[in-house]
Amino acid sequence: MARDDPSGAAGSTRDTALPAILDCDTGHDDAMAILLAAGTLDLRGVTTVHGNSTVELTTVNTCKVLELAGLADVPVAVGAPQSWKREISHAPGIHGVTGMDGPDLPPPSLKPIDEPAIEFFHRSAAEVDGLHLVATGPLTNIGAALRSHGGRLASRIAGISLMGGSTGLGSATAAAEFNIWADPEAADVVFRSGVPIRMVGLNVTRQVPATPSHRRRIRALGTRTGRAVAELLDFYSEQLALRYGLPGASMHDPLAVSALADPQVLRFESMQVDIELSGEHTYGMTVCDRRHLSTDAAGLVRQRDPFGRPNAEVAVAVDPERFWERFIAVLAGYP
């Protein structure tokens, strides 16, 4: 499903864009991740998962976004309706009753393919060398895919870039970020899989709010996609201001796409990340161990400790300006 970068930006054309599947619980910021992924990666498909809303609604929302942006050729495969252990828990207080309240988008004609998300991962990974996964929802689908078919997916995947967790504060609870908290057991399988992981957590995504000026720039694109994204950001910003007192919608999920498509937006440190599975107050926390790390003389190469750790590259700093310039340029390429 290779397509040219609608922004025309160098380094992300048909020939160089990395092949990827986006696994998401669409969702306001997931919707923006879809648009950024289709513009900067070789997007082979979108898989849906429960999370911000039911998987039925996150699938409808995904199809709406793809149709809005003229991306109806991207296959959509439906994934898990619920976590492995946790009772169903959605986020209507942030994303509204549809999971993507705000713009009034028509019911989509686009329908998901018949193949379930897990099978779609396996088939795509067998067909495409160097396939990446980007995850912007609970890790239920990816964890299950890694455990199925004799565990062969791990050796076929080039990496997983995920929005989830944090090196510090939580969101669903004081300690846990929503995507990890929503299915900690699945997240644990992913972080133990041996697949190279880039973790983009709240510690950086909260540093990229959509201010009124960003929303004005996006609205001023004058396109139907620009208008819809501005309306998504209006609704999402209002909810996050009410709930957390934040200055604007955090661009959580698009940053997991940037981590793959334009890694210079973020700075990473190698860490061992373990998922807390039993703590009374810390269930679903990403415990980020920064010990045992050292750099070479130039301060560039991070060495692994004697136990083969760490298991993840964790985003620790972000360049919001670089993110916004690329994001708005990509949006400008859509109808």
Binding site for ligand BDR (CB under 6 A): 27, 29-30, 52, 91, 94, 136-137, 163, 171, 177-179, 252-253
> Is-catalytic flag, 122?
no
> How many residues does this entry show for the chain?
335
Candidates 28-36, 40-48, 111-119, 213-221: pick the segment binding Ca ion (CB under 5 A): 28-36
- The phi-psi region of residue 235 (left if phi > 0; otherwise alpha if psi is between -120 and 50; otherwise beta) is alpha
**Looking at 28, 90, 95, 252, which residue is catalytic?**
252
Residue 99 in 3-state DSSP?
A: coil
Choose the one of Ca ion, ligand BDR, none that binds residue 234, judging by a C-beta under 5 to 8 angstroms depending on kind: none
Choice between 120 and 236, CB closer to ligand BDR: 236
Q: With binding defined as CB under 5 A, does residue 248 bind Ca ion?
A: no
Of 58, 136, 171, 225, which lies in the binding site for Ca ion, with binding defined by CB under 5 A?
136
**Closest separation in Å from C-beta 51 to Ca ion:** 6
Centre a 10 Å sphere on the Cβ of residue 29 and count the other Cβ atoms it contains: 28
| Cα–chain center distance at 52 | 13
Alpha helices in 55-173 (DSSP H): 55-68, 92-95, 117-127, 140-147, 153-156
Distance CA 250, CA 209 (A): 4
**Closest separation in Å from C-beta 280 to Ca ion:** 26
**Closest separation in Å from C-beta 171 to ligand BDR:** 5
* Continuous segment of H or E residues that includes residue 29: helix 28-40
**Closest separation in Å from C-beta 151 to ligand BDR:** 26
Choice between 138 and 310, CB closer to Ca ion: 138
Q: With binding defined as CB under 5 A, does residue 30 bind Ca ion?
A: yes
* Continuous segment of H or E residues that includes residue 243: helix 224-244
Of 137, 138, 165, 310, which lies in the binding site for Ca ion, with binding defined by CB under 5 A?
137
Torsion angle of the four alpha carbons 72, 74, 75, 76, in this order, in degrees rounded to the nearest 10:
-80
Residue in the shown chain whose Cβ atom is closest to ligand BDR: 178
Binding site for Ca ion (CB under 5 A): 25, 27, 30, 136-137, 253
